[in-house]
Amino acid sequence: MTIKEAQTAVDEWIKTYGVRYFSELTNMALLTEEVGELARIIARTYGDQSFKESDKNRNMADEMADILWVLLCLANQTGVDLTEAFNKNMEKKTSRDRERHIHNDKLRDPIA
């Protein structure tokens, strides 16, 4: 599925099952909430915290998909073509950072 197809699928789902989009402000709050849920899983999986009993059934992939869903909703609501935006962003990063990270000693493998 392309990004454009995903935007269309979300829009069709909203129109079929969701009645209407939540407001942009509500979706921004939901996006923040979903990012927090992913952060909690990552902190417990890769960080120093242990899982609470209520965290044990959380699914990292599902949380990432929740984030993508709300982001697609916001893009649809605000008229953003995420395919175009992503392509422009990749061009910007490539132009700006073409050699930046290659010459960053902090990113070099300490074993090499």
41 with 63: CB under 8 angstroms?
Answer: yes
The domains of the chain are located at 3-81
Amino acid at 8: T
pLDDT of residue 111: 64
- Answer yes or no: is pLDDT of 112 > 60: no
70 CB contacts (<8 Å, ≥6 apart)?
27, 30, 31, 34
DSSP helix/strand/coil, 101: coil
Fold that domain 3-81 belongs to in CATH: Helix Hairpins (1.10.287)
Summarize pLDDT for 45-94 with one digit per residue, the tens.
Answer: 999 988 888 877 889 999 999 999 999 999 999 999 999 999 999 999 99
pLDDT of residue 56: 79
CA dist 71 and 79 (Å) reads 12
CA dist 56 and 36 (Å) reads 16
